[in-house]
Structures are given as structure tokens and as C-alpha cells.
Amino acid sequence: MAYPYQITSLEQYHNDYKKSVEDPESFWGAIAENFEWRKKWDKVLNWNFTEPKVEWFANARLNITENCIDRHLKTMADKPAIIWEPDNPEERTRTVTYARLHKRVCQFAQVLKNNGVKKGDRVCIYMGMVPELAYAVLGCARIGAIHSVIFGGFSAQSIADRLEDANVEFIVTCDGAYRGGKDISLKSIIDDALIGNKTVKRVIVYTRTRTPVSMIKGRDVWWEDEMLHAEDQLELNATFNFPAEEMDAEDPLFILYTSGSTGKPKGVVHSSAGYMVWTNYTFVNVFQYKPGDVFFCTADIGWITGHSYIVYGPLSAGATGVMFEGIPTWPTAGRFWDIVEKYKVNTLYTAPTAIRSLMSYGLDPLKGKDLSSLKVLGTVGEPINEEAWHWYDEHIGKKKCPIVDTWWQTETGGCLISNLAGVTPAKPSWASLPMPGVQPILVDEHGHEVTQKDEDGLVKGNLCIKAPWPGILRTTYGDHERYRTNYFATYENLYFTGDGAFKDAEGNFRITGRVDDVLNVSGHRIGTAEVENAINMHAGVVESAVVGFPHEVKGQGIYAYVIMNQKHGDDEQSKKDILQTVTRVIGAIAKPDKIQFVTGLPKTRSGKIMRRILRKIAEGETKNLGDTTTLLDPAVVEEIQKGKL
């Protein structure tokens, strides 16, 4: 067996779980011995959820890229690390071996150095899904710079906010990106984001779409020119090696922005050592990865799933991964199945939203497709409904592939609750058992553990975690108090996930969704306050309130109640204008699915909007709206109900 810490039986899972809870230091210390360190740790774990402060592998020294690339070169230099499938199936694919990955990452690290990037500097990466995105991420890690990848769907304003928050001085982007046959002008969006910016010194631009771009003298440089120069420099070095910067275990590896319950996105910070150990451990165990298997994670690297299960987890395990530039339905709804057949994919890891979308096309796109290579299926981003689970099981896995229903978050670094493929039991639409090292607890609104079962024999409560795991976030960038209040202040000595859950008699967990003002749309978290702020920027809007409602494809849709300052007589045009405003401020990902114009919102006498009532109306509830007598104007509820879309 290639991985001595791979769990291979239910009995071993229970034994390992017990050890990980009773003596986490010796458990994780033993697993960490399987990695390469410049200096070993003084202590495996220091933690305090009150301050809060978490340290894993204190004072150890390492560089994560040596564990993701260099250590594999002796035995698998010619093994594919990344197989790249372009958006257009007619375009040439690329296979990047570990040797080629090493060369390109070293080259790009030299490019960063040549352009003034130093250890600890923040580098924003805003690129399409091309191998160069992986080179940029790993190049930053090699030089000790902190990367902050921004998903290509975010607007110029969203990027500008993130650049300012992280005090970014360097940007890596593309001229454009292809997605579903469309050309997205990334560089022009970056140019818009940089209007008025005083901190960015350099923009490195990779040529992908040959879209005409504006290159500002002294600020903008071409990726290709910089890489050629770096190649000349490194060729003087017989080993063509850019020495990896020695990092402390707790040095930040990256910042990834995620929505919270306030309008301002928060920069989640992950460390070097703990994140490395956690992504590797969960990758090897959840998916039961075997050397030589082909792993296809369909996510974008702009999200945490791509960070953990396209880049760091698979590469640190010496795996072969497929990286896909496109979308599942272009040019046909059989694109995923073409890729599985083409590369003989063994593990497919995708989102319930994608599965539900593909279900809507029926079974024709599956005809004639050879999916016999598949051994494991996985889902990520949101709870999967039973109908989609059974469709996935029957038509994609042919009832022979275990499905891992993984629950985790940007903040957790990797899977926290999931069955292990073929090792621990699966239960349709249940995330099932916690990973070793993860100690979940269900609490009531006062923070007391819930033990009382309902009539179905289930315990229900708010999902918290009692102790840290190696992949836990370390802070929110530049604002440690926000870290404390967001995750540790709600309940004493507990990490609060923001999700509700059920637990059954066997200890399986089923996630029921967010319990705060955050929506889970297509597996991506969007704060209601963020969307409201964007809607309210429209000149004609007086006030708005945003809630979630059940959506058959996205899981959760965005329903906006909007008060306009005057009637133009054209509601449809006003809706289009509002959608355009949201797209400009946040990005198309946050556009409301439904906009209902109202004359008032249900408010208490103190002015608080009763979103609970609005949520029930959006969900189609007509009777059990709760007590409305405390509202400033109870009549407004009836009016909203009549106008429901």
C-alpha cells in the first residue's frame, strides 16, 4: 500500500478515530512523518478557542511545493501530474508530468522574483482554468508569497475590494478565458479593478484567447516574455531548480475570500503545514486513492475545492488529476462523460448542482459513453438530495461505485464529514461520519449539547466542532477579531460552522443548510447582506431584503424583495437594471433568481427586517408565518403574499 495512513476497513476507521480524539498529538505526529520537513516540529499542537489561537507542528520548517513536486521526482518524474482538458474539445489537450511541473513552477518562481515579489507578499491570481494557473499558485508557494486566487466570475468591484483588503502588490492574470464557448475578458476586468488603485506594482499577463488588451508601460508584462527570461537564468543552473523558500509551519500559504453574514467578504487564511497534512490525508482516505488512478475534480481553482483537491491534495499524494477549463453542458450535456471515457477517469468529484443540471437533459447524453473506468463518485459544495444521489448512483456509477458525500467549507481546508469510499457506510443524502480528528457536536441556541431525539429518532441542532483539526483556518486576513466573532464567539469553546444538522443513532450527520444570513447557491456561499448592498446601489432602489428559496437545480436560489423610489411603469426593465447592477458590483454568480417589487418590508418597531417571514413566503409557506402582531405594519405581509412570484 502506497499510503501507510490509508484507512482500509471500518474497524480501522473506528480505531483511528478513537486515537485521533484521545491523543491527537501522537496521531497527527505519526502521519506528519510521511512528509518532507526541513526541520521537525517542537510540539504537534497548541490551541485555545477562547483567544482564539491554533498552531499545528509548531516551529517546523518546510516548503509545501517540495512535498507536492520535488519529492516525487526520483520515482515518478514522467508520471502525469495534471491532464488538462480545454474548453473546446477540438483544441489540443496537455499532459503535464511531475518533471514538467517542476520546471514550470521553478520558472514562474524566478519570474516572481524578477518582478520584485518577496516572501510574505500577497499575489492576486485571476485566471482561467489553464495549467498556468497551477504554476502560478505553486510558484507563489515556492517563493513564500501568499497567493489569493479570485474566481473568474467576480466583477471588477469585487476584485478591487479584495485587492484593497489584502494590500496586494502583484497580479497574475490572462488576456481572457474560455468558458462554455464564451470569451471572458479577464485583463480588461483587472484594468477596471485597478482604477484608483495605489498598491499594485506589476501585472503579469498570460496569453490564452488573444483578446486585444491594454498593456500599461511599467506595470504590465507578458507571461511568455518573463518565462523565457527566467528559463535563460535557470539554464545557467545545472539542475534547473529554483530553491524553495523555507517556511515556518504556521506561515500563511494563501488567502481565499468567502462571503459572510456582513456585506464585506472575509479573507480566510490557511497555513502551510497543517493544511498540507489535512488535504493529503483527506484526499487519500475519502476517495481511497490508489497510485495510478486518474482523479477528476470538476471545480474551479478559484474556490477552495480546486485549491485542495486539484492542486495541493492530489499533488502532495503524487496523484494524476484532470483539470477542466469548460462547463459540463458545452458543447453538449455529455461533456463530463466524454472526459471520463477519454482519460479513463477512476474518480469523479463534482457538485450536486452539476448533477441536477445534467439530470435535466435525460439519459441521451449518456448513450454510447464508456464509464466503466469509474470506481468512486463524489459530491461537494452542498447537501445532495436523494433523487440526484440515486440518479448519480444508477446511471453514472452503475450501482458499483461508492458515492462520497463530502461536507466541508472554505474555512476547514478539506473534508470534515464524509464516508470513506467503500470503507465506511454510505447513506443517501447524508454526509455520514466525521473524519479522524474531527469532533462534531450539535448544540441548541444557547450552546448546550442537544441529546433529545425527535419522533424520527434524530438529534437536531447547530453544528459545531469541539477541537481543531490540522486544516482549520488560522485567522481572517488583517482582522483577527472578525475571526473570533465569526467562528468562536457564538458558542463558548466551540468552532461554529454556521450550518444546522441531524445526527442519527449510528453517529451519521446530515447537513440541513445554513442557519445564518448566508445562502448556498450552486455550492457557493453568498451573503445576503452582500447582495442587498449591491441591489441598494441601484439609483431607483430605496431598500431591499434578500432570502433563499428552494431551487431545483441550484439547491438554493436568491429571492429579492425590493422597494423602488418611483414607478417607471416598466417592472421588467427595472429588474434587468437591478440584475446588471448586481453583476457589476459582485458578479453574475450573485444575481437574484426572483425580484419582487413591494411597497414595504415586514419590520419590527425597532426597524429590524423580519427575514424569517420573507423566507417562509419565498418558500411558498402561506399559513405558519409566526406572530406578525409585533410588526410595525402587519398589513404589509398580506400584500407581499399576494405578489409572490
**Residue 567: pLDDT band by 50, 70, 90 thresholds?**
low
- On whether the 440-514 domain is CATH 2.40.50.1070, my answer is no
Share of the chain above pLDDT 70, in %: 98
In this prediction, residue 16 carries a pLDDT of 98
The Cα 447–Cα 454 span in angstroms is 19
pLDDT score, position 633: 81
For domain 522-642, the CATH architecture is 2-Layer Sandwich (3.30)
> Which residue in 272, 325, 256 sits closest to 471, CA to CA?
272
Q: pLDDT at position 529, please?
A: 83
Average pLDDT over residues 493-504: 95
Dist CA 114 CA 52 (whole Å):
38
Least confident of 306-315, 436-445, 552-561: 552-561
**Does the pLDDT of residue 97 top 80, yes or no?**
yes
Mean pLDDT confidence for 54-72: 98
User: How many Å apart are CA 160 and CA 607, to the nearest integer?
Assistant: 32
- Position 275 scores a pLDDT of 98
pLDDT of res. 374: 98
Selection from 23, 25, 16 nearest residue 423 by Cα? 16
Q: Which pLDDT score is estimated for 30? A: 98
Q: What is the predicted pLDDT for the residue at 497? A: 96
**Looking at residues 514-523, what average pLDDT do you find?**
84
Q: What pLDDT was estimated at residue 629? A: 65
- Label residue 53 by pLDDT band (50, 70, 90): very high
The mean pLDDT value for 177-184 works out to: 95
With a cut of 70, say whether residue 233 has pLDDT above it: yes
Which whole number is the average pLDDT over 577-595? 93
State mean pLDDT over 158-179. Answer: 97
Reported residue count of the chain is 645
Check if the beta carbon of residue 97 is closer than 8 Å to that of residue 81: yes
Residues 263-277: pLDDT tens digits? 678 999 999 999 999
Q: How confident is the model at residue 379 (pLDDT cuts 50, 70, 90)?
A: very high
pLDDT, position 213: 96
**pLDDT score for 542:** 87
Residue 362: Cβ-neighbour burial (10 angstroms; 0-12, 13-18, 19+): exposed
What CATH homologous superfamily does 10-412 map to? ANL, N-terminal domain (3.40.50.12780)
Given this model, what pLDDT does residue 627 score? Answer: 67
Tell me the per-residue pLDDT of 460-496, one tens digit each, with 9 for 90 and over: 999 999 999 999 999 999 999 999 999 999 999 999 9
Examine the pLDDT at 568 and tell me if it is beyond 60.
Answer: no
Of 76-80, 421-425, 634-638, the range with the lowest mean pLDDT is: 634-638
The tens digit of pLDDT for each residue in 37-51 reads 999 999 999 999 999
**How would residue 1 be classed by pLDDT, with cut points 50, 70 and 90?**
low
Could you list the beta-strand ranges (E) of 523-568.
524-527, 541-551, 555-564
Segments making up each domain of the chain, as ranges: 10-412, 440-514, 522-642
- Helices (H), ranges, 115-177: 131-143, 156-166
Q: What is the mean pLDDT of residues 161-169?
A: 96
Position 530 scores a pLDDT of 86
